[in-house]
Amino acid sequence: MTLALLLALAQAAPALPPDSIDGLPLGTLPRQELPARGCAAYLFSTGQVRGLAAMVTGDPATLRIALDGTVRDLARAGAAGTVSLGLNAESVYRGGEVTATVQLTIESRPNLNNGAAVPSATLRLDRVGQDTVVVPLAGLVGCAPGAGAAPH
């Protein structure tokens, strides 16, 4: 009876993508290029599985994530806080039934040209009828040539 119950539960649970970050519905993105214009934040997971979890671009203002095994680009629906290198300290993105909020801290560093460090960030995913997921992140900002280097 117990084995039958476990098999039924395993079949009912949605399968996570093979590149799942720490057992979450969020997966790793493939290699991403620098943006054609402006800057982008490349945000990596900081848990047990380390991989590119999100890319935030300033122009156009989008968030790229791999959710449930599918790469998705979500458009920015709102932003607040200070702006550095074309990226807000907090931005909200929406697409379908997904709302994602990204909070990030951008620090210029003398050893980084055409970009900056992101020592801490969070990605909050809200989906209708599902649990909210909050993922700690960190990474770098990279800018297209001539997009405005970080002040030193």
Confidence (pLDDT) at 73: 97
Give which of 43, 33, 28 is closest to 122, Cα–Cα. Answer: 43
- Side-chain half-sphere exposure of 31, counting CA atoms within 13 A: 1
**Which pair of tokens denotes residue 133?**
């997921």
Question: What average pLDDT does range 55-73 have in this prediction?
Answer: 95
The fraction of the chain above a pLDDT of 70, given in percent, is 84
**How many C-beta atoms lie closer than 10 Å to residue 138's C-beta?**
16
pLDDT over 70 (residue 151): no
What is d(CA 103, CA 100) in angstroms, rounded to the nearest whole number? 10
Taking a C-beta distance cutoff of 8 angstroms, is the pair 85, 42 a contact?
no
The mean of the pLDDT values for the chain is: 86
Confidence (pLDDT) at 55: 98
Domain spans, the chain: 17-143
Give which of 55, 39, 68, 62 is closest to 143, Cα–Cα. Answer: 39
Give which of 142, 140, 133, 141 is closest to 21, Cα–Cα. Answer: 133
> What is the end-to-end Cα distance of the chain in Å, rounded?
66
What is d(CA 31, CA 18) in angstroms, rounded to the nearest whole number? 17
Question: What average pLDDT does range 56-71 have in this prediction?
Answer: 94
Q: SS in 3 state form for 2-47?
A: HHHHHHHHHHHCCCCCCCECCCCCEECCCCCCCCCCCEEEEEEECC
